[in-house]
Structure 1
Amino acid sequence: MTIGAILTPIGQLVFSWTCLPATIHWAIPIAFGIPFGAGNTISFIYGSNYLAGAYGIYAASALAGNAVMRSMFGGTLPLAGTSMYKAMSPQWAGTLCGLLELALIPIPIIFWRYGEKIRAKSPIIRQMREDQEKNESKRAKQLARLERKREREAAAAAAAAGGNSEKSTGVLASEEQTGPRDIEKSA
């Protein structure tokens, strides 16, 4: 995610200062759209993965909250963008955005370095871990019950199979007993 946080402002700043002068070939700002787009994509994907991993069983809620906030900003900031670009010029408006992106570079580094401590202080994360432990305990009890049931069924099947073999053994034994008696009687 740090790579994405670094690529985004580089692409933004170079794009901003190469997009307007007619003396600069059009391919140069387009080429710097690549690190800008790659940085945004990397940041988005890894940010979503971080939320899903950090919030575990509440990942859907965390991602939904993220989507709501992203949509609110995505719907309102373009309304201000036109005025900003007219008032400041494309180069300086793009520079302002690039500088804001530069200021955000430490965030993934901070989360990588201190993320566990930050999550340990969060009451939501603590509650999630308690709920997760309860769910795992319930799941373990259910699995133990299923295992005991399977063992009982296997024992019952073995007893039934063992009973059938005793009956068949008993039949053979009675046939063997009657066999010699019949021979003695006939002799």
Structure 2
Amino acid sequence: MFLVFRVFGGLAASGPLSIGGSTIADVTSQEERGKAIALWGVGPLLGPVVGPIIGGFVTENVGWRWTFRILLILAGLLGLATLLFMRETNAVILLRRKTDRLIKETGNDKLVPKASTKENPRDVLVPAFSGLAYLGLGLGFVCGLAVFAVLSDRLLGQKKGGTVARPEERLILMKWIAPSAPLGCFLYGWTAQYHVHWIVPIIGTFFVGFGSLFVVIPAQAYIVDAFGSEASASALAANLVIRSPFGALLALAAPPLYAKLGLGWGNSVLGFITLAFAPVPWLFYRYGETLRTRFSVEY
């Protein structure tokens, strides 16, 4: 039941993530949009960092159920404020509503919004389907998760004469599959730059999602296996604290990056940066056990 309601929570949370950027575009100028989008991105980027800290204190002092009660209270208050104070910001919809009101008041059904005389109906509908562009990325995540779930445990070998598998075996899939993420960056960036058929950039985002999953999930599995149940929670928290600020900084850098370099070279920069880290899982696979032995963790 907990997992079922987590799915519903994710569906509800997808709303702000899907339309938040469009709302910012409606109410800000292009010159101010970068800062606004960066501020909007603070929540999903820093929330996973601050949330566990607050949740730990709440759980320790008043019980784990209050973590959900606090979320319910905050979500309820924000939802009520949204219903009371937020208004439609899309110019096309506002113009259409005004036209409908004038038709009703005057009885003249020949009134047509000016935008409708200049734009193809298909063009007006495109923003409604713009979120579908994320399906490639999402499908990449789902396929990657399925592959990892099937192969990860099967590839987990054991040292000869031992009963405990090496945590470094968790990095096998990362070694071979993670480089598909920078390849996806290159494919997406340059095909979008030259306006190739829309399916090709979407395929690029699929490889970005597929490869990215084999960076995050195997790394987490490696940390859990390496530190064990005694210290894995602290290790994962430290990993999150280090990782999330980089996401926040990248969000700040993205608008000027694409403004200066365009989609092609902008995404290529990200691809080259990601590609530069490709040897890291190979190094950890080779020397990780030595490092863990040399710098052992005291519980």
Common fold by TM > 0.5:
yes
* Aligned amino acid, residue 263 of structure 2: P
Displacement after TM superposition at 1:127 (Å): 3.4
What's the TM-score once normalised by structure 1's chain length?
0.63
Runs of 4+ in 1 over 6 A off after TM superposition: none
Conserved 8 A contact 1:4-1:40: no
Distance across 2 between alignment mates of 1:64 and 1:107: 21
What's the TM-score once normalised by structure 2's chain length?
0.40
Match of 1:118 in 2: 291
Distance across 1 between alignment mates of 2:204 and 2:177: 14
| Greater Rg by CA | 1
Residues 120-161 of structure 1: per-residue CA shift (max 9 Å, x gap): 222xxx233xx4xxxxxxxxxxxxxxxxxxxxxxxxxxxxxx
Displacement after TM superposition at 1:98 (Å): 0.5
Match of 1:50 in 2: 222
Distance across 1 between alignment mates of 2:282 and 2:224: 18
1:120-159 equivalences under 5 Å are 120-122=293-295, 126-128=296-298, 131=299
Distance across 1 between alignment mates of 2:277 and 2:247: 18
Tell me, yes or no, if structure 1 residue 83 matches structure 2 residue 256. Answer: yes
* Aligned amino acid, residue 6 of structure 1: P
Tell me, yes or no, if structure 1 residue 104 matches structure 2 residue 277. Answer: yes
Displacement after TM superposition at 1:36 (Å): 1.0
Aligned partner (choices 225, 240, 243) of residue 67 of structure 1: 240
1:17-36 equivalences under 5 Å are 17-22=190-195, 24-36=196-208
Conserved 8 A contact 2:193-2:262: no
Conserved 8 A contact 1:8-1:36: yes
Distance across 1 between alignment mates of 2:178 and 2:292: 21
Distance across 1 between alignment mates of 2:182 and 2:290: 28
Which of the pair is proportionally richer in helix?
1
Distance across 2 between alignment mates of 1:63 and 1:13: 30
How many residues matched?
125
* Aligned amino acid, residue 60 of structure 1: A
> What's the secondary structure of 1:31's corresponding residue?
helix
Residues 43-78 of structure 1: per-residue CA shift (max 9 Å, x gap): 111010111111222100010111122221222220
Conserved 8 A contact 1:5-1:105: yes
> What's the secondary structure of 1:127's corresponding residue?
coil
- Aligned CA RMSD, in angstroms, stands at 1.3
Higher-RCO chain (CA-CA 8 Å, sequence separation at least 6): 1
Distance across 1 between alignment mates of 2:255 and 2:263: 10
Runs (5+) with no aligned partner, structure 2: 1-173
Displacement after TM superposition at 1:113 (Å): 1.3
Conserved 8 A contact 1:5-1:104: no
Displacement after TM superposition at 1:101 (Å): 1.0
